[in-house]
Amino acid sequence: MSSSQLKLIDCDVHVCPRHADEIKAYLEQPWKHRFSMRKNTYYKNPNPPFDKMPPGGGAAGSDPDYLRSQLIDRLGIYRAILMTQAHVTADHDPDYSSAVATAYNSWLSDTWLGKYNDDGVFKGSIVINHRDPLAAAQEIGRWASHPHFVQIQMDTGARAPFGQRQYHPIFEAAERNGLPIAIHPGGESIGVNKPVWIGYPSHYTEYITGFSFAMQSHLVSMLTEGTFERFPKLKVVIVEGGVTWLPALIWRLDQEWKALRSEVPWITKAPSEYLRDHVRFTTQPLERPASDEDLLEVLSMMEAHNLLMFSSDYPESDFVSLDSSLPRLPVEWEARVLFENAKQWYSL
C-alpha cells in the first residue's frame, strides 16, 4: 500500500516521560513520595523496541524530536493520537490512582500537547481511574475543553466489565463532552485487577494473545447491558485489541439476543446495529493469515471500511511500516481506513 497521496491519522502512539520526576512535579504529598512509573513486572516483552530508543537516552517514546523523525515525518502523519500507559487502575488506592491520572494529564498537556506541539499534530487521551467513576468523571470535565485532548483512555484491566452500571458516571461525562472512550490494554492480571483468562498465564506470549479476550468481554458487556441505549451519543474505540475476532463474536451475540431478548428488554435492536453506530477498531496489531485474500474477506465481513481506523502502535516492538502492517486494501477503502474514519470519529 502506498500512502504517498493519502493523509494519515495514527490512532495509537505511545509517549512517556523521560524520568519519573517529570510526573512527580505535578503531584502533591502524600502522593509525590509514593510515585514511581508503574511497569508490568510480571509479563515482560522479551523483545524490547531497541530501535526506537532515542540516541540521547531515555525510553522509547520519550523524545518528541526523535518520534517526529521516526514516525510523523517518515509516514507523513497528519494527526497522531497519543496514549500514555500509567496503569493507574492497577493500584489498590483509588485516591492515589486518581491523583496520578491527573498528574499524567497535566504533564501531557504541558509537554506533548503544549511546548512540543506548535503544528498541532499531537492529540491526546485523558487518562482516568475507572475504579473511581465519580473522580474519573471530574477528570474528564477538567480537560474536556482542552483543544488537543480528543478522547478518554480506559485500561482494560478491571474488576468488573465495562457495561455494568457503576461506570455510568464515566459514560455520562464522555457523552456530555462529546469525547470517545478508547479502551486500551493495560493492567490485566496486575495489582488489584482480575485476569480475564482462566487463571494467570505462564508466558508473555499467552498474555499478549489474550488482550483480545479482555476487549471481547468489555464489548459484550456494554452491548448486553444496554450502554448505548442509555448513552445514545457515546462513542467507543477498541485500541490494540485485534480485529478479526469480531465477525464470529457479533454473529453469535446477535443469535443469542434473538433467542434471549426477553432477558434484556432494554436492547431494542440487534447488537450488531449498536456496534455499527457506536464502536470503532484500530488496525494494530492486525492478525495476518498467510493469504491477504483471506484477511480481506474477514475484514469485509466486519465492514472494515466503516469500522477500522489506522494505528501504528509506535514505539512498541510490534510496530512495523505501513506497507507491511496492512494488506493492500481496496482502493475505495484506503482513504476511509487511513484518514476519514478517524477524522469523523474524533472531529479532527
End-to-end Cα, the chain, rounded Å: 24
Instruction: Single out the residue of 122, 124, 7, 123 nearest to residue 75, CA to CA.
Output: 7
| For residue 285, cis peptide bond before it (omega within 30 degrees of 0) | yes
Kindly write down the DSSP assignment for every residue of 309-342, as one continuous string.
E----BTSTT---HHHHS----HHHHHIIIIIHH
Task: Tell the residue number behind the cell numbers 496492512, with chain if given.
Answer: 326
Q: Where are the domains of the chain?
A: 8-346
- Contact, 254 vs 270, CB < 8 A? yes
Among 106, 122, 128, which Cα is nearest to 174's? 128
1 has pLDDT over 80:
no
C-alpha distances in angstroms, 81 versus 56, 126, 194? 24, 11, 28
Q: Is the pTM of this model over 0.75?
A: yes
CATH, domain range 8-346: 3.20.20.140
How far does Cα 165 stand from its chain's mean position? 21
Radius of gyration of the chain (CA): 19
Cβ neighbours, 10 Å, residue 309? 28
Among 9, 14, 6, 7, smallest CA distance to 240 is for 14
Tens-place pLDDT, residues 260-289: 999 999 999 999 999 999 999 999 989 989
Q: What integer pLDDT is reported at residue 36 of this predicted model?
A: 86
- 299-336 pLDDT tens trace: 999 999 999 999 999 998 666 556 567 888 999 999 99
Q: Is the C-alpha dihedral spanning 138, 144, 148, 149 positive or negative? A: positive
What gap in Å lies between CA 258 and CA 91, rounded to an integer?
40
**Strand ranges across the sheet with 122-127:** 8-14, 77-83, 122-127, 149-155, 181-184, 236-238, 279-282, 308-309
- Which residue matches cell numbers 474477514? 298
Over residues 61-74, the pLDDT tens digits come to: 999 999 999 999 99
CB-based contact 78:7 (threshold 8 Å): yes
Q: Which of 113, 330, 56 lies closest to 338, judged by CA?
A: 330
For residue 30, whether the previous peptide bond is cis, meaning omega lies within 30 degrees of 0, is yes
Reported confidence tier of residue 192, pLDDT bands at 50, 70, 90: confident
pLDDT tens, residue by residue, 96-153: 999 999 999 999 999 999 999 999 999 999 999 999 999 999 999 999 999 999 999 9
Do the beta carbons of residue 319 and residue 283 sit within 8 Å?
Answer: no
